[in-house]
Amino acid sequence: MIVGRVIGTVVCTAKDPRMEGVKFLVVQPVSMAELTFEGKPLVAVDTVGAGLNEMVMVCAGSSARQTSRTVNTPTDASIMGIVDTIEFAERITYRKDEDT
């Protein structure tokens, strides 16, 4: 799984019929220790109602098609959780209620 921050959206007017009604978000992976951006952004199907700037959990590969919203869909990344807290190396590195 990937921890990342939602940094944008993707709108597709023409798409596979199985993806009708799906919200696509751009997620930038982050380091859990420092919360700095790392790697390349990716497009993920939003299955939980995430919003811009939220910290999210993303599953990728065949696991991305295991949510109730993405079964039998052509997706490679799904947002399957909104992060409340990250504890890393015995310290809290992220709390949603303190995120600005």
CATH architecture of 2-98: Beta Barrel (2.40)
CB 76: neighbour CB atoms within 10 A? 16
Instruction: Return the HEC string of the chain.
Output: CEEEEEEEEECCCCCCHHHCCCCEEEEEEECCCCCCECCCCEEEEECCCCCCCCEEEEEEHHHHHCCCCCCCCCCCEEEEEECCEEEECCEEEEEHHHCC
pLDDT at 11: 96
Tokens coding 58 = 């993303």
End-to-end CA gap in the chain: 24
Its pTM stands at 0.90
One digit per residue, pLDDT tens: the chain, 100 residues?
999 999 999 999 998 898 888 999 999 999 999 999 999 999 999 999 999 999 999 998 878 787 777 777 888 899 999 999 999 889 999 999 998 6
pLDDT at 100: 63
pLDDT at 62: 79
The structural domains of the chain, with segments of one domain joined by +, span 2-98
Separation of alpha carbons 9 and 25, rounded Å? 4
